[in-house]
Structure 1
């Protein structure tokens, strides 16, 4: 039986994007929470929880962007003109944030400037990722095989809503990470952050979920008609279950529940989005198979991916294992 290489590559890219959200989401979330810590020493500890892994987490973003270019060149050629501005702002914010991250430890005389830069970079990167997500959901105007929309089509009330929603989601991930990695006063603050960000996340997930099927009759049909409704119907029920786990973890202060449950919540949102958009890679315009590179190219790249992905997963897991455990006040930090 022949392999459906475009579908396999769509799955690999989706996996890469989801792993990026799960990993880089928490360190961007820590950046969003950064200004709300009570003391400079608390901010030092918070930053040290992500210092060993933040740059490795962004590997998965490169996989997503590079994979889209290589495996689905037509989609890349359409999506990039539609999203030049948010992509550029996001990448500049990530660069800005990375510079601030390193300089904060070496240039103590301007620490406030670097702290502000770190927070601003984290916010802009997260918000723009939400904008990109919202643009995909609402659709991209295509004429023939080219982008036919305007420069500002990506900026709408819906995309702003998804940007804000992702900020809350990443902040909840960051809170869950800090709960796992810290103790004492920082852990207590992280639980307070988790309470507020969980409420915000649940609210905006509900708003975006109710708004999404109103954007397109096709999405409405895929969510509420047979046979796809059988895939979608369990999602809101499972979302309520996961929300219950998060609420219980916060109320009972069970450290190990909040972070993985938040990943599960985002995963359920990912599934709902996938059902609504499949089989399109450029929503309601270009399908996965129409945008795919030739099978010979996809097979060649698949061999490389099957070699590289286990290596990336291996060194990612190894880095988390090496830097496991709690980070405490007075510990020698990653930058010491």
Structure 2
């Protein structure tokens, strides 16, 4: 049993859970200016009011797990992406403050709505650019970051940022299809179709860019025998994408949301194929960056206790607040 691989999958699970759960929160913020002022905006906010803050638990688990299980990776990635991480955290703070204050300070609601949208957009863009900075490679010398302050700013990272923004908009709009009815649901369906097309195009563009970004990435996706293991990922991604567009057009209720999650899952699977076994491409593997075995064992005991509890109370919260959104305000 390889504890390092187990920890890699635990952190990957936490990151995926965060991206999906906080992704639709951020997606609603990104799409917020397209909603009518008043009832439509209020209902969109009410759809995430009971769960939005709990969704960020997974960000803490993912970041904390990276620090604990792969301290070298944490020590390299953060200095390489400090501006992006700071921007993301500030965006999340603005989003959270605006969420609360728009109800309690109606005299400045327009300002808080702008802060909600701006914070969501900045956080999503920063997360995508951080992913891009990691994929394009981080210069490491003597187990420390050796690049410059702005190595993360490239056309590739900007493309990744736009891809995440579009993907979050897709999650947010399909969530609203599920949670709303009437004109709000019809509007969300139009937004979902546009977001789906944008997400698919940008996913394809990033995937194509990856082939030319790194010779090792191209080898994994285009040469035998690696291509036989990698080929199912884009094939299944295409099937899910087409099914999702069909579900949106046929006015399905919850199916578009679950298919959008499946699209993200296969996107993350493709990311795993591209990066494995590196945690910091192109030279730091998960074993290079791993904490001592005793530390991993000790932390694994804690995760074995806390992770089921997190999953249980998250599932309970979503179960309690299932169904369509009522018109009552958030207090």
Deviation at 1:144, TM superposition (A): 2.1
1:92-141 Cα offsets, whole Å, 9 max, x none, are: 11011100100010000000000000000000000000001111111111
Q: How far apart, CA to CA, are the structure 1 residues paired with 2:227 and 2:134?
A: 21
Query: Which residue does the alignment assign to 2:33?
Result: 35
Q: How far apart, CA to CA, are the structure 1 residues paired with 2:2 and 2:214?
A: 28
Q: Are the equivalent residues in 2 in contact too, given 1:245–1:257 (CA < 8 A)?
A: no
Where structure 1 has 5 or more consecutive residues not aligned to the other structure, the ranges are none
Q: How far apart, CA to CA, are the structure 2 residues paired with 1:310 and 1:250?
A: 33
Q: How far apart, CA to CA, are the structure 1 residues paired with 2:262 and 2:328?
A: 33
Q: Do structure 1's residue 159 and structure 2's residue 171 form an aligned pair?
A: no
Moved over 3 A (4+): none
Aligned length: 331
Q: Are the equivalent residues in 2 in contact too, given 1:228–1:275 (CA < 8 A)?
A: no
Q: What is the TM-score of this pair, normalised by structure 1?
A: 0.97
Q: How far apart, CA to CA, are the structure 1 residues paired with 2:274 and 2:37?
A: 44
Matched position secondary structure for 2:279 = strand
Query: Which residue does the alignment assign to 1:177?
Result: 175
Quick one: which of 42, 51, 55 aligns to 1:53? 51
Quick one: which of 193, 196, 201 aligns to 1:195? 193
Where structure 2 has 5 or more consecutive residues not aligned to the other structure, the ranges are none
How well do the aligned residues superpose, as a CA RMSD in angstroms? 0.9
Matched position secondary structure for 1:309 = helix
Query: Which residue does the alignment assign to 1:238?
Result: 236
Q: Do structure 1's residue 106 and structure 2's residue 104 form an aligned pair?
A: yes
1:270-296 Cα offsets, whole Å, 9 max, x none, are: 111111111111111111001000000
Matched position secondary structure for 2:322 = coil
Query: Which residue does the alignment assign to 1:280?
Result: 278
Matched position secondary structure for 2:254 = helix
Deviation at 1:333, TM superposition (A): 3.2
Q: Do structure 1's residue 333 and structure 2's residue 322 form an aligned pair?
A: no
Query: Which residue does the alignment assign to 1:118?
Result: 116
Moved more, 88-97 or 222-231: 222-231
Query: Which residue does the alignment assign to 1:305?
Result: 303
Q: Are the equivalent residues in 1 in contact too, given 2:130–2:152 (CA < 8 A)?
A: yes
Query: Which residue does the alignment assign to 2:218?
Result: 220
Deviation at 1:231, TM superposition (A): 2.2
1:61-89 Cα offsets, whole Å, 9 max, x none, are: 00111001000111111111001110011
Q: How far apart, CA to CA, are the structure 2 residues paired with 1:39 and 1:301?
A: 47
Q: What is the TM-score of this pair, normalised by structure 2?
A: 0.98
Q: How far apart, CA to CA, are the structure 1 residues paired with 2:166 and 2:10?
A: 26
